[in-house]
Amino acid sequence: MASTTLMGGDLIQALTIHEGFERLATAIAPMVRTETLALEDALGRVLASPLISPIDVPAFRNSAMDGYALASPDLSGEPPYVLPVEGTSLAGHPMTEALSSGTAVRIFTGAALPDGADSIVVQEDTVRLDEGRVQINVRPSPARFVRPVGHDVAAEHELAARGATLDAFLIAAATTSGIERVNVFERPRVGVFATGDELREPGARLGPGEIYESNRRAIRMLLQGCPLDVVDLGILPDDEAATKAALASAGSEFDALVTSGGVSVGDADYVRQAIEARGSIDFWRLNLRPGKPFAFGRVGSSCYIFGLPGNPVSSIVTMLLLTRPALIALAGGNARLPSAFSAPLAESAQHEAGRDEYQRGRFVVQDGELRVTTYGDQSSNRLSSISGADCLFLLPGTQTHFEPGERVDVLPFRGLL
Ligand code: AMP
Ligand code: MG
């Protein structure tokens, strides 16, 4: 549920993550520009047209095992049967003649079945006899080890719909269907700004009160592999006029902007005012910890802007939970919140009620079961609360104390890929 706070005379709605996501998904009009790419170059890109297999895969009946191909109606009575072996079919070297009645053909995995054969007997169920004969010890069941035409994919079958992302699996599937070029959406151009007078580039000497700027780099790296053309636009000073000018100029050049910092209620926070002055705010503030000061809107008429909080962990969490899925939607991809699984807490957990909190967690295995536990001090300035963590897990704002064994929603950072 959204919470309402009275601030500076304004009623300000702080949205839940789900409400925020709905607002983003409704507001964002996906990319329309498309381009054709070699499949080889299309990893991570979003399909602008459905991907259709032009051929049957496989295009010929073939054997799933090493063994013998035969025609089951040729076998009468109970096994064993003895048949002469006439011919061999190897992968890439099919036997071109049809099977002669009452004979067997030596066959290997992936080799074409000769016409007339309907069954494969696996090598382990046979004994090779002299004079080119084979003893078959079982009654074969037709089709058991035969891969029919189109077994993997039939011609004209849709491998993936418009909006699907070309991952390694889909690229492999398209390759096996003989597809070499794909129609994809162009990558939206995304500009990334940091804001703050205290921020210095890595490598610089730090003066009093200064810190190294890390959000821009984290944001760019979290967007790596996404179908986006991400451009680093540097650090903006805490200056209203400079912020307005920079957003207006970048807004005419980019499809989306991501900023960090300057979006809270401090005296040196100008990002929200600059968005309001040069465009419009769709929503500001999430009922979320970390990540409360988050703004979404537009600058100019066609550029979306995501104003992320400055605290490094808040900026990463709102990037992962909202901004990245929204940018993928902008890129024409399927927009969805990251999907959680449920796991029990290994230890008790607590937080201040009122806001949904995504704590950084570690996985532990207890009694053979995967559990999750809070990973250290959860202050949103501490990058060390996230850099060694395995996941985020949700403590709902309706409850302060959670017992060991209570189940929570978990978003793992890493999977198999
Ligand atoms: P702000 O939202 O601008 O008030 O920033 C909140 C906190 O995050 C402050 O302690 C800032 O110094 C810090 N911060 C803001 N931007 C960055 C950044 N790009 N890299 C590292 N820390 C930052
Ligand atoms: Mg700041």
Q: Tokens 């999977």 label which residue?
A: 415
CA 16, CA 354: separation in Å to the nearest integer? 11
**Relative orientation angle of helices 271-278 and 240-251, to the nearest 10 degrees:** 50
Peptide bond into 58 cis (omega under 30): yes
266 lines ligand 1 (CB under 6 A): yes
Asked if residues 324 and 318 have their Cβ atoms less than 8 Å apart, the reply is no
CA 73, CA 245: separation in Å to the nearest integer? 83
249 lines ligand 1 (CB under 6 A): no
Q: Which ligand is nearest to the CA of 239?
A: 2
The separation between CA 379 and the C-alpha centre of its own chain, rounded to angstroms, equals: 28
Q: Do the strands 189-195 and 256-260 form a parallel or antiparallel pair, or are they unpaired?
A: parallel
Q: Which ligand is nearest to the CA of 215?
A: 1
44 lines ligand 1 (CB under 6 A): no
Q: What are phi and psi of 229, to 5 degrees?
A: -105, 100
188 lines ligand 1 (CB under 6 A): no
Tokens of 208: 């009093």
pLDDT at 12: 57
CA 269, CA 264: separation in Å to the nearest integer? 6
Q: Using a CB cutoff of 8 Å and minimum separation of 24, what contacts does 94-98 make?
A: 94/60
Single out the residue of 413, 403, 415, 411 nearest to residue 344, CA to CA.
Answer: 403
Asked if residues 239 and 270 have their Cβ atoms less than 8 Å apart, the reply is yes
Q: Which ligand is nearest to the CA of 200?
A: 1
E strand or H helix that includes residue 314? helix 312-318
Q: Could you read off the pLDDT tens digit of each residue along the chain, which spans 417 residues?
A: 455 544 443 445 699 999 999 999 999 999 999 999 999 999 999 999 999 999 999 999 999 999 999 999 999 999 999 999 999 999 999 999 999 999 999 999 999 999 999 999 999 999 999 999 999 999 999 989 999 999 999 999 999 999 999 999 999 999 999 999 999 999 999 999 999 999 999 999 999 999 999 999 999 999 999 999 999 999 999 999 999 999 999 999 999 999 999 999 999 999 999 999 999 999 999 999 999 999 999 999 899 999 999 999 999 999 999 999 999 999 999 988 888 999 999 999 999 999 999 999 999 999 999 999 999 999 999 999 999 999 999 999 999 999 999 999 999 999 888
Asked if residues 244 and 268 have their Cβ atoms less than 8 Å apart, the reply is no
Q: How far is the centre of ligand 1, averaged over its atoms, from the C-alpha of 248 (Å)?
A: 22
Q: Which residue out of 192, 193, 215, 220 has the highest number of ligand 1 atoms within 8 Å of its CB and is therefore the one to mutate?
A: 215
Q: For ligand 1, atom 7, which residue shows the shortest CA distance?
A: 311
198 lines ligand 1 (CB under 6 A): yes
311 lines ligand 1 (CB under 6 A): yes
CA 218, CA 346: separation in Å to the nearest integer? 29
Single out the residue of 315, 392, 306 nearest to residue 23, CA to CA.
Answer: 306
314 lines ligand 1 (CB under 6 A): no
CA 93, CA 57: separation in Å to the nearest integer? 18
Angle at the Cα of 100 from the Cα atoms of 94 and 104, rounded to 5 degrees: 70
CA 69, CA 183: separation in Å to the nearest integer? 42
Q: How far is the centre of ligand 2, averaged over its atoms, from the C-alpha of 238 (Å)?
A: 7
8-state DSSP, 317: H
Q: How far is the centre of ligand 2, averaged over its atoms, from the C-alpha of 213 (Å)?
A: 11
Single out the residue of 213, 177, 222, 210 nearest to residue 195, CA to CA.
Answer: 213
Q: Which residue out of 192, 265, 311 has the highest number of ligand 1 atoms within 8 Å of its CB and is therefore the one to mutate?
A: 311
Q: How far is the centre of ligand 2, averaged over its atoms, from the C-alpha of 265 (Å)?
A: 10
Secondary structure in 3-state letters for 163-174: CCECCHHHHHHH
CA 224, CA 90: separation in Å to the nearest integer? 44
Q: Which ligand is nearest to the CA of 199?
A: 1
Residue burial 133-143, b: 16+ Cβ < 10 Å; e: rest: ebebeeebeee
Asked if residues 103 and 131 have their Cβ atoms less than 8 Å apart, the reply is no
pLDDT at 143: 86
Tokens of 41: 């170059």
Q: Do the strands 279-284 and 189-195 form a parallel or antiparallel pair, or are they unpaired?
A: unpaired
312 lines ligand 1 (CB under 6 A): yes
CA 384, CA 378: separation in Å to the nearest integer? 9
83 lines ligand 1 (CB under 6 A): no
Residue burial 35-50, b: 16+ Cβ < 10 Å; e: rest: eeeebeebebbbbbee
